[in-house]
Structures are given as structure tokens and as C-alpha cells.
Amino acid sequence: MSEDAPANTATAEKQLPKDLAAEKGMVNVQIDGKWIQVPRGTRMIEAAKMVGTEVPHYCYHPKLSSPGNCRMCLVQMGMPPRPAPGAAPEYGDDGFQKIGWMPRPVIACANTVAENMGIRTTGDLVETTREGVMEFLLINHPLDCPICDQAGECKLQEFSVEHGRGQSRFKETKIKKPKNVDIGKNIRLDDERCIMCSRCIRFMDEVADDPVLGFSQRGTNTSVTVHPGYRLDNNYSLNTADICPVGALTSNDFRFQMRVWFLKETKSIDTNCGTGANTVIWTRGNEIFRVTPRQNDDVNSAWMPDSHRLAFNTLQTDDRLTSPLVQKDGKHVGTSWMEATAKAAEGLGMCQPNEVAIIASGRMSNEELYLTKKIAEALGTDLLTIVPRLEESDGKLISADRNPNTTGASLIWGTDDPAAKIDAIREGVASGKIKSLIVLQEDLLAEAGFKAEDLEKLSHLVSSHTHANPTATHAKVVLPSVGFAEKRATYVNVTGRLQRTNQAVIAPGETRDDWESLAALLAQLDQEYETPASVDKILNSLASEIEAFKGQTFGSIGDLGVQITETGVTIPLLEQEKARVESGQVVG
Amino acid sequence: MAIIKVERPKLTAGEKVYFGSIFKGMVITLRHAFKSLLGKSTGAEALNSSGMGITMQYPEQKWDDQLPEYYRGAPALVTDELDRERCVSCQLCEFICPPKAIKITPGEIPSNDEWAKVEKRPKEFDIDMIRCIYCGMCEEVCPEQAIYLRPDYVITGTERSEMVHDKKRLYEIGGKRVGLVNKWNDLK
Amino acid sequence: MDTTLLIAAAIKIAAFIGITMTFVSICVIFERRFSAIIQDRVGPNRTMIPLSILGFKKDLALPIGGLTQPVADGLKFILKEDFTPSYVRKFFFWLAPVLVVVPALLTMAVIPFGSPMEIGGTFIPMAIADLSVGPLFIFAIASLSVYGITLAGWASNSKYPFFGGVRACAQMISYEIALGLSVIPVLMFFGTLNLGHIVEEQVANGWLLLPLWNDGGFIVSSGYWDDPQSAIQRLLLMVPIVISFVIFTTSIFAETNRMPFDLPECETELVGGYHTEYSSMKFALFFMGEYAAMVVGSALIVTLFLGGWSIGFGIDNLLPAGAWWVSLLHIGVFLGKVTFFILFFVLVRWTVPRFRYDQLMNLGWIVFFEAALINVFLAALVIAYPSIGLTGVLIGFILLTVVTILLIKVAKGATEKPSATAV
């Protein structure tokens, strides 16, 4: 062994760790006795996170600025002692200088790391300070846990168990503050529970650009209020309930619905616009109780618009279609899937190829759009379109394209504008040239400018919907369809990112997954078509046919999705966040 | 460990025939039978039974007087001295209930209610007494002292639906309980 | 054949099957109530006649002490789901319960349950079949019930029932030998195989187990000693008869799979034994079979050893023979005796713990078999006393003693375990 050694020892100037790190733009930090290299300018709390140590905190949020006002993240910091004038710094055997620990703690959220810095996240000093901070935070906090919606996911509960004293020494009277305050249409404020972390204030100011929240009064009477004359009616207001570490801000929609510990989380995505914000669907049994955003820095950061997260309520209404219907003597009667599919195919088969059109939806998943294309091929028609849904972007997360899968449609159908033929079909129906129509997931009368009398001219109309609607009343065959939370499917968002939904609940009644009903219809039209066993198989054949999807499976997409194409579209909120990260305002 | 050899007892010729022992056994069993027939079963008095065996003749005779303080009968909801619902539907009992007998639908107290301060109360509160195992976990976990195991043990019904106690029935069984509960305290 | 006899036979069959089945259900209530009072419990005491389900306002709450419990039990058995597991051998599975019940009921045919009744000048024997091979018929038919149990165990296609079936088979075959041998002294003494005659003999000369009177009168009167030799012989005969009685009774326990010998169905080892897989009425048939066997066993013991239908103590001779009320009285007496034995069966069941299987086999093969065998010779010596004289008896007795000692030695050797070193 010693024969190999000279190569090492012969180096006259051994490089110190600080120099090695500096070459990469890193610094060496000792966290709880362990040395690691972290990028220069990292906050101490993030550095601790890198070694797997979670420093308890309330006000710090990586997507928001750090005012450092909760004091929960206090840690002990140490730096090498400043050498006497003229003296060279002394390095130990390991190449590091000795750390001189500071007697007072510092906050980990707003301080950045430096070379040879030491951080202690445990120890007597840190633990007693945390205990003290917890005691102060709990002084005026009411014993509301049994009725508080936050109970179970409350940071105050968690940290008081982990770091608190366990018992109150407070003998004085607690401060009374307003409770159950109506400050906006989606948000309820309880000032007594507030611990003044100011996350909501900063969110409304920095992210939502609607600074209606602020502190009023001083000292122990400080409370969060909405500015006089304003209300918290912003479309992003529910995010404040998400980031509120306690139950001060709670959602009106979820208020007293269910305790969070009963809820099962299913990772999914939002399908109300082209952004496809990542979400978590919270369910108990077969009921959805709430939808919350899930962090994905390439799609929605950590936020989500209120309108989209409350959209799940429309899925749990009484007017859902639950079984296939066929029209008999002008009335819809329930029937079996077998009969409904046969009836649908029979009517389509009687028409010439150029007399059949298919109106699909940009709300359909890739698998369904792929099967729709196959059906169009089987029928020999090229009248295939989606209904366009272009509106104004809100400049944050809501895309101008309200269809969640326009990109997917154009990729799969191989066309630049999948909605191009809608006008031609509308005219064809009006003029009577088109005799048969398949409508999937769209209400033509309400959203596509069709007229009821035109639909009456059709000899055959097959439609598929989640809910009963005017278009369905004209249809000869109506197939029930599943909603976003009831299926496992993939979507491509406006930026070209392939993402997936997961099934959180089971669709009502006899409703079948859409791919199943489409595949059954296709099997009726094309005798050689082999019905796939699962939705995975459809994605497999889709991936083998379409270049952009090559090699993609449900597994490879993962929870955060994969970029499969570049469309050049950007998400405004992400751009704004990028600018703030670059200017050092937030960690990101 | 020490090994202890246990010797089989040496039996005399008489014992080996067994008939003596069997006869002795029959005498013992017959004695019990006669005592029982005469209404003088051993231990009958202590248990207040009829003497025909030591079993209590249930519907006619009851053990209610002897029921201990801590007897765990049917769980029930209680109101406080002002007839206010103590339960705030925190659903901890629903969570802890081992056989999942409790089902709560939480509800909000309308703001015009006199006791709107508490904000929350159960809209529906069902305990399936077919499932209930009378363990008392609900009582133990309740942060508002709203659910108690009452000494009622005669829980019968001819249908499953009858065995599900709804909120009304639970308050009927539970009755009133006095004593301060934190949520009514304005200072807490 | 005489029409009277034919009609009488039909009535007797109907009545007797009715009585037997009633007795079976009475056995159940006896078993439950008696075991309850033995164990300081109450038992089923408040089963009522549920008139309310027939539309009446109130249930009939007679102080019948739960006597309708067997009816309720029976109803429950009928109304329960008759479940046949998919893996059983269906034909034999269905056949087995029948094979258990039918032999038990058949054996009843030859037992005289009352004195002959005179109807229209003909004396009608109060037995369904007045066979002259009574005990043989009973043994022949009763031994068939082992097929039912063995078949049940085998057809269930499940290990515990199979164990139960095998055990039952071995046990019943073993004890049938002791059963058959133990009854030989009795038959030798009576010299007939007709159970009716056996009973009539006992009416005249005292019950086999209770020879306290004969033609001459009671034992205390001088008339009893008119023929001192035969009187002494009769009393001497008590020794082999008592041995016979003990072996016979015990073997009947084993034959009916009653408690100290209920290894085929012992629930601690075999779940339910041969009837584990049975439910509903098929299960009830096994029970019925067991209790019917118990009733027949009791009836047989009563007939052979305790004078059958006779009231005893010379009273029977004072009553007018053939009068209908006398016959009915005798039937009552017979049933009373049987009831007593059923209670005895129950008492034994709730007193004596279950045997271990090797103990059971030892008792059957090493004790009872030999004892019954020697007992035959002992009885023969006593019976032959008038013809071979005192010397012959003495020689025979000495021989018998030697053989007995030898047999005991052999039996001991058989039960000894080989020592570990002996290879």
C-alpha cells in the first residue's frame, strides 16, 4: 500500500476543502456535526433540509419572502474565530477551522450559509428556545382543536407535541379576538388561532398581486384583517388556507365537512384548463371532500386557482348519468351497455362515410382521443374535431386554453389545430349533409353554437356525457361518462408536458370508464379490433404510433409528469416566480 | 432448569377398578342435582338467584342494584345543565372506534343560534349498536366529555335499523351531565 | 294371518316408533335439564308454546318447565340451512345419517314393552316382532350403525370427521365382543333367545339382578326355599350375573358413543368428530340415532337384567293376565325403568371424564374381553352344578382361577411398555 502512497503525499500544497468547494461555487457547512457542501447563498433552513433535518418553522415558505417573524426556526450558528491581525487561520487535520459557537441563536430561514459555518439544529440552547417560542405562540391560542378544520394537519399541533412544554403556565386571561369572520367568499378567518406568521399577507401581496390582507393593532393584540372596504375575493384566496400553518384561515367549502385524518390522498392533475395544475384529491369512501394543489415547479409552483379546485363539486351532483340510455318513442330509457353500443354502431353503419362526423372534446384524455381517431378511421370520415375553448388567461395559472388536452389532441391527431373543422361540421349539420354525429363530452347547444333544430335533423346522434344536458336530450344513444377524479388517464398540458390523473373515486351506477365504452364502440365498427384489457394497453399502442409519446407508460410519467414536446407556451406565474428567484426575493 | 420427575401415583387395587371413584363422583353430582331441585344451590343466596342453580332469572330478576359505578353499557351523548349539546363532532370517537360503529356527519351551528360561539355540532350522529363492542374508547377519547357509556344494557331490536341509535335516541339515553366543559368557557 | 294381529302390529309399530321418538326428544330435555341441575344451572326452563305466531294475543306460558324445548330444537334443526360441502362424497354423505338412525329404530322391534294384551280372545304380545332370536337380532342390527358413522367420517372428506369415523369403527367393533360375551351367561341361564320368554321367566322367578322371589314366594318366606339347591344356585349365579351386568352396561355406553366413550365425536380433539361437516336435519339424525341407541340400550338392559315390563315382587301374578289396563300398567312400568336408565346414562355422562383412546382400547380388549370370557365359564360352572356335583365345580373353579391368574399376567405384560434399552 505504501508504495502507492507517494503520489498523494508528494503533493506539496494540499488543497483545502474550502478551495475545493469554491471551485464549484459551493461552501462547506457543518450541520449537526456533519460537513456538507452546499451552494453559496443557500438559506440555513434549506441547507439543513439537504441533510434531511427539518427545522421547525411557521413563517418561512420557499415560494414567499422571508420576514423571519415567527422565530420558530432558531438554530445555533458558529463561525471560525477571526484570526488576530497578521495570524494565519489554523486548519485542523480535516482541513476545517475550529468553529466558535455563538451564544445566541439565529433564525435559519433568513440567514445564508458561509464557508466553514456550523449549524446546530439540536442541543440545549436550540431546544429551550423552541420551547420558549412555542409557549409564546400558544399563549393566546384557543383550545379549538376539536372544532378546528386544521386539526390533524396543523403545524402548531405538531410542533407543540414535538417541541412544546406539554403544559400551560399561563394564568392570565387570553386575548379575545374576532372569530368566524367572513372575509371572502371562500375563506373564513379566525383571528384567535392566528400566530402572526404573515404567510397569507405575503402570498396575497407577492403571488396573487392582490394585497388585501394585513396586520392591524400592535403587540399582543395584533391580528390579521382584510383592508377596510375590500374582501378576500381573489381567485387564489384558497391558497392562503393551504399555507396557513394553523386554522386561522379555513376554506368555506371544506368547512366542517370532514376531519383530515379520514381522508385518502390521491395524486392527480387539474383538468379545468390547459395548465394542468398538479393536485391532490382528498376522498373518504367514494366521496371527494377537497382538492388541493401539489407542488410541481414546472407547472403550478405550489398554487392553484379557487375556481378550479372547487370544480370537483360539479362531479358529485344528482344529475349524473348512471346508465346507458337509448331513445325509444322520443323518450330515453335505460339499457345495457351491450345494447347501447350495438345501437350506436348500427346507426353509424347505415350512413356514408362523408355523412358521419365526430365532435370530441379537448377535455378528453390522450387515450380517449386516440380511440376517437381510431373510430373516425373505422368510419372512414375525416370530420373529426374538438370544441375550442379559448378565453382570456388570468395572467397567473389559468391558461387561455380552457381545454386541458388541446396539445394532446393535436399531437395524436397529427394536426396543428384540432378544432379546425368545428365550423364545417356545424354547417354540415345545419344543411343536412351530415346525417350522423358522435358527440363526446361536449354540450353542443351550450358551448359550440349548435341549434336544437339542427340536431333534430340528424338521423343518428350518439353522445357521451357525465351529466344530463340539452344535447343529450336529442341523442339517440346516450352513454354515461366518468369525471376527472374517476379515471386513470394522461393529458398533455399547454407547455407540452405529459401528466396523468389517478382514480380517486368510483364512478356512479353502471358508468364505465370512457376508454372502455369507446373501445367497445370501436370493436363494433371494426371487427378486427382487439379490445384492450386496460387503459395501460391503449397508452402502449398510442406510444408506439405517435412519435412524441414514444416509450411513455403510466409508470414513466410519474407524479410530476414529463415534458414530451415544446410548444413555446409559458405559464405566467412561473415566469413571475423565476424573476423573484433570480432577484433573490424567494428561494423558489 | 431442574428437571422434576413426576411419579404417577400408585393406585391400590380398589382404585384401579375405578368403580369406587366413579360411584363417589356420581354421589357428588347427584348431591348437586338434589340441592338444585330443592332450591338450595351453593352460592345461590349471594347471587340472589332462585336457588334453582345459581343463575339469575334474567327478565324477572335483575342485577341493576349490583351494577358497579364503572359499568360500561350503551354509549350515549349527553347535554350539559343548559341542555346544550356537548358534542362538537370532532370525530375523534369515530376515528378511535375499533369496530367502526360510530358515524358522524358534522354540521355548522347557524350564526343566529344562541350558542353559535361553538360553531360546530353534529348534524347526524349514529352509533350502530350491532357493531358496538362497549369498549369505552369513545368516552376516553372525547375532548368535550360529550359521550359516556351509560349503564343501559338492554339494547334490543327486531331490525337492523332499530339497532342504529341516532342523535335523538343517544341524547335520550344520555340525559344531562353537569360540570364545566372548556368550550363554553369564555376565558379559554 | 289374523287381521287382528295385522292391525295390532300396525298400531304397535306406529305407537312404538312414536314412543321411541318421543323418548329421544325426552332424552334431550333430560340431558339438558339434568346436566343443568348437576352443574348448579337452570337449563332450558322457559320455552313456551308460541301462540302469538299463530295470531293469538299472548304466548301460552304454562308452568311446563321448558318441556317444549325439544320441539323448539327440532324446529330449529329443520329450519336451518341444510348445507352440503362441495368436496364430500355426496351419495354416502347423504346415506350415512340414515344408516345411523334406521338400525337404532329397527332394534326396537323385538323388545317386549308390556305384558300380552287380550283382544277378542287372542293374546297379542306387546312386542312388534316376537322373535325367538331377539338378542341376536339386536346385536346384528345394532352393529350396522357403525357403518353409518364410519361412512359419515369417510364421506365427509375432511380429516377430523375421518378420525372420528375410524375411532368409532374401532371402538364399536371392540366393544361388540365384550357385549356379546357378557350376555352369554344370561342366555345360558334362561336357555332361550326369545326376549318375551326371558321377561316372563323373570316375572316368575325374580329379576335376573334381583332374584328375591320365585314361584314359592319371597326370599324371607319358606316357600322360596322349597327347592334349596336351585335357590342356592340362583343366588350363587348373582356373581357372574353382576359381572355380566357391569360389562354389558359399560359396553352399551361404548356402543352408543356416550360420554366416557365418546371419542369419535370428542370436540376437544376432533371439532365435532364424524358429524363435523353435517348441518341441519342430517346432523339431527345423528343425534337422533345416538339417543335412539341409548333408548334401545336401556330397554335391553331392563329387559335382560331388570325384568322388562314386570312390576316385580310377585305382584304381576296377582294381576289378571291379559286385561288391557294391566298391559298398559306394564308398559308404564317398562317405560319408567327405561327412563331411570336414561337418567343414569345422563348422570354418568356428567360425572365421568372422557377416556384416553388407549385406555378405551385397553379396557375393551384386555379387561372386558377376558373378564367376559372367564365369566362365561364361571356362569357355566354354577349352572352345571346340579349335574357335575360339588367336586366338578371345585375342580372347574380351581382351573378357572389358574387361567384367570395367567390371563391377568398376560394382560399386564401386554400393557407394559418395552423399556428403552430393550431393542
Residues A122, A76: Cα–Cα separation, whole Å: 8
- Residues A383, A453: one domain? yes
Residues C187, C191: Cα–Cα separation, whole Å: 6
Read off the pLDDT of each residue in C326-335 and give the average, rounded to a whole number: 84
Which among A523, A427, A516, A436 has a CA at the least distance from the CA of A479?
Answer: A516
Q: Is the pLDDT of residue A62 over 90?
A: yes
Specify the pairing of strand B102-108 against strand A477-480: unpaired
pLDDT given for residue C216 in this prediction: 67
CA B25 to chain C, closest CA, distance in angstroms equals: 6
Is A172's Cβ below 8 Å from some Cβ in B? no
- Residues A42, A186: one domain? no
Is B118's Cβ below 8 Å from some Cβ in A? yes
Q: Which three cell numbers stand for residue B161?
A: 335499523
In the stretch 150-179 of chain B, residues with CB closer than 8 A to chain A read none
Give the percent of chain B with pLDDT over 70.
Answer: 93
Cα distances (Å, whole numbers) of residue C394 to C241, C397, C399, C404: 19, 5, 9, 15
In this complex, do C352 and B22 lie within 8 Å of one another by their Cβ atoms? Answer: yes
Q: Is the pLDDT of residue B180 over 70?
A: no
Spans of all domains in chain B: 13-61, 67-184
CA B120 to chain A, closest CA, distance in angstroms equals: 6
In this complex, do B90 and A258 lie within 8 Å of one another by their Cβ atoms? Answer: no
Q: The dihedral of CA A544, A547, A553, A555: what is its sign? A: positive
pLDDT given for residue C64 in this prediction: 67
With cell 372512414, the residue in question is A380
Which among B138, B105, B183 has a CA at the least distance from the CA of A145?
Answer: B183
Cα distances (Å, whole numbers) of residue A460 to A346, A434, C371: 10, 10, 99
In this complex, do C351 and B25 lie within 8 Å of one another by their Cβ atoms? Answer: yes
In this complex, do C41 and B54 lie within 8 Å of one another by their Cβ atoms? Answer: yes
B112: which chain A residues are within 8 Å (Cβ-Cβ)? none
In this complex, do C351 and B43 lie within 8 Å of one another by their Cβ atoms? Answer: no
- Residues A206, A156: one domain? yes
- Residues A256, A400: one domain? no
With cell 349490583, the residue in question is B66
User: What sections of A336-469 are H helices per DSSP?
Assistant: 337-349, 366-379, 406-413, 422-431, 444-447, 452-457
Q: Which three cell numbers stand for residue A109?
A: 430561514
- Residues A100, A210: one domain? no
Is A284's Cβ below 8 Å from some Cβ in B? no
Residue A507 — pLDDT band, cuts 50, 70, 90?
A: very high
In this complex, do B36 and C38 lie within 8 Å of one another by their Cβ atoms? Answer: yes
Is B103's Cβ below 8 Å from some Cβ in A? no
Provide the ipTM: 0.81
In this complex, do B52 and C37 lie within 8 Å of one another by their Cβ atoms? Answer: yes
Is B105's Cβ below 8 Å from some Cβ in A? no
More confident residue, A75 or C329: A75
Q: The dihedral of CA A213, A216, A218, A222: what is its sign? A: negative
Residues A391, C204: Cα–Cα separation, whole Å: 120
With cell 507517494, the residue in question is A6
In this complex, do B88 and A151 lie within 8 Å of one another by their Cβ atoms? Answer: no
C42: which chain B residues are within 8 Å (Cβ-Cβ)? 50, 52-53, 55, 57
Residues C268, C155: Cα–Cα separation, whole Å: 22
The two most distant CA atoms of chain A are separated, in Å, by 103
Is A173's Cβ below 8 Å from some Cβ in B? yes
Q: Which residue among A89, A122, A155 closes a domain?
A: A122
**Range of lowest pLDDT (A388-392, A473-477, A551-555, B180-184):** B180-184
The mean pLDDT value of chain C amounts to: 81
Cβ-based contacts under 8 A for chains A and B? 47
Residues C379, A191: Cα–Cα separation, whole Å: 107
Give the percent of chain C with pLDDT over 70.
Answer: 91
Q: Is residue A89 part of a domain?
A: yes
pLDDT given for residue C279 in this prediction: 83
B45: which chain C residues are within 8 Å (Cβ-Cβ)? none
Residue A234 — pLDDT band, cuts 50, 70, 90?
A: very high
Is A181's Cβ below 8 Å from some Cβ in B? no
pLDDT given for residue A2 in this prediction: 45
Domains: count for chain A? 3
Q: Is the pLDDT of residue A264 over 50?
A: yes
**Range of lowest pLDDT (A222-236, A531-545, B160-174, C82-96):** C82-96
Q: Is residue A118 part of a domain?
A: yes
- Residues A149, A244: one domain? yes
In this complex, do B90 and A151 lie within 8 Å of one another by their Cβ atoms? Answer: yes
Q: Is residue A277 part of a domain?
A: no
Residue A59 — pLDDT band, cuts 50, 70, 90?
A: very high
In this complex, do B120 and A261 lie within 8 Å of one another by their Cβ atoms? Answer: no
Contact partners of A by the rule of 3+ C-beta pairs under 8 A?
B
Q: Is the pLDDT of residue A8 over 50?
A: no
Neighbours of A407 (CB within 10 A): 28
pLDDT digits (tens, 9 = 90+) for A531-569: 999 999 999 999 999 999 999 999 999 999 999 999 999
Its domain, for residue A418, covers: 325-485+510-536
CA B49 to chain C, closest CA, distance in angstroms equals: 10
User: The domain that contains A532 carries what CATH number?
Assistant: 3.40.50.740
Report the phi/psi class of residue A152: left, alpha or beta, with left for phi > 0 and alpha for psi in -120 to 50.
left
Which among A57, A309, A65, A61 has a CA at the least distance from the CA of A211?
Answer: A65
Q: Is the pLDDT of residue B179 over 80?
A: no
Is A145's Cβ below 8 Å from some Cβ in B? yes
Q: In this complex, which of B25, B26, B54 lies closest to C40 when CB atoms are compared?
A: B54
Among B120, B145, B181, the residue to mutate for chain A (most A Cβ within 10 A): B120
Q: Which residue of C has its CA nearest to B42?
A: C40
Read off the pLDDT of each residue in C41-57 and give the average, rounded to a whole number: 76
CATH of domain B67-184: 3.30.70.3270
Tell me if the pTM is above 0.80.
no
B117: which chain A residues are within 8 Å (Cβ-Cβ)? 179
CA B41 to chain C, closest CA, distance in angstroms equals: 6
pLDDT digits (tens, 9 = 90+) for C6-16: 887 788 788 87
In this complex, do C37 and B53 lie within 8 Å of one another by their Cβ atoms? Answer: yes
- Residues A77, A164: one domain? no
- Residues A330, A461: one domain? yes
**Range of lowest pLDDT (A225-239, A482-496, B138-152, C124-138):** C124-138
Q: In this complex, which of B94, B143, B187 lies closest to A146 when CB atoms are compared?
A: B143
User: The domain that contains A36 carries what CATH number?
Assistant: 3.10.20.740
CA C40 to chain B, closest CA, distance in angstroms equals: 4
Q: In this complex, which of B91, B107, B116 lies closest to A259 when CB atoms are compared?
A: B91
Give the list of residues 6+ apart from residue A345 with CB closer than 8 angstroms, or none: A521, A524, A525
Q: Which amino acid is at A390?
A: L
In this complex, do B30 and C347 lie within 8 Å of one another by their Cβ atoms? Answer: yes
Read off the pLDDT of each residue in A41-46 and give the average, rounded to a whole number: 92
Residue C309 — pLDDT band, cuts 50, 70, 90?
A: confident
pLDDT digits (tens, 9 = 90+) for A77-123: 999 988 888 888 888 888 899 999 999 999 999 999 999 999 999 99
- Residues A142, A167: one domain? yes
The mean pLDDT value of chain A amounts to: 91
Q: Is residue A445 part of a domain?
A: yes
Q: How many helices (H) and strands (E) does chain C have?
A: 15, 4
CA A213 to chain B, closest CA, distance in angstroms equals: 24
B26: which chain C residues are within 8 Å (Cβ-Cβ)? 347-348, 351
Q: In this complex, which of B108, B111, B186 lies closest to A255 when CB atoms are compared?
A: B108
Q: Which residue among A122, A150, A166 closes a domain?
A: A122
- Residues A532, A480: one domain? yes
**Range of lowest pLDDT (A5-9, A562-566, C344-348):** A5-9
Which among C337, C341, C308 has a CA at the least distance from the CA of C116?
Answer: C308
Q: Which residue of A has its CA nearest to B120?
A: A147
- Residues A526, A480: one domain? yes
Read off the pLDDT of each residue in C364-371 and give the average, rounded to a whole number: 83
Which among B184, B188, B187 has a CA at the least distance from the CA of B88?
Answer: B184
Residue C62 — pLDDT band, cuts 50, 70, 90?
A: low
Q: Is residue A6 part of a domain?
A: no
A261: which chain B residues are within 8 Å (Cβ-Cβ)? 95
User: The domain that contains A200 carries what CATH number?
Assistant: 3.30.70.20
Is C233's Cβ below 8 Å from some Cβ in B? no
pLDDT digits (tens, 9 = 90+) for C228-268: 777 777 777 888 888 889 889 888 888 887 777 877 777 67
Among B90, B93, B125, the residue to mutate for chain A (most A Cβ within 10 A): B90
B116: which chain A residues are within 8 Å (Cβ-Cβ)? 180
pLDDT given for residue A10 in this prediction: 44
- Residues A474, A337: one domain? yes
User: What sections of A61-110 are H helices per DSSP?
Assistant: none
Q: Which residue of A has its CA nearest to B91?
A: A259
Is A52's Cβ below 8 Å from some Cβ in B? no
B54: which chain C residues are within 8 Å (Cβ-Cβ)? 40-41
Is A528's Cβ below 8 Å from some Cβ in B? no
Q: Which residue among A212, A235, A262 closes a domain?
A: A262
Q: Is the pLDDT of residue A134 over 70?
A: yes
Among A143, A147, A254, A287, the residue to mutate for chain B (most B Cβ within 10 A): A147
Q: Which three cell numbers stand for residue A420?
A: 379546425
pLDDT digits (tens, 9 = 90+) for A458-471: 889 999 999 999 99
Read off the pLDDT of each residue in C139-159 and give the average, rounded to a whole number: 85
Residues of B with CB under 8 A from a CB of C: 19, 22, 25-26, 28-30, 32-33, 35-37, 41-44, 50, 52-55, 57
pLDDT given for residue C226 in this prediction: 72
Residue A9 — pLDDT band, cuts 50, 70, 90?
A: very low
Q: Is residue A316 part of a domain?
A: no
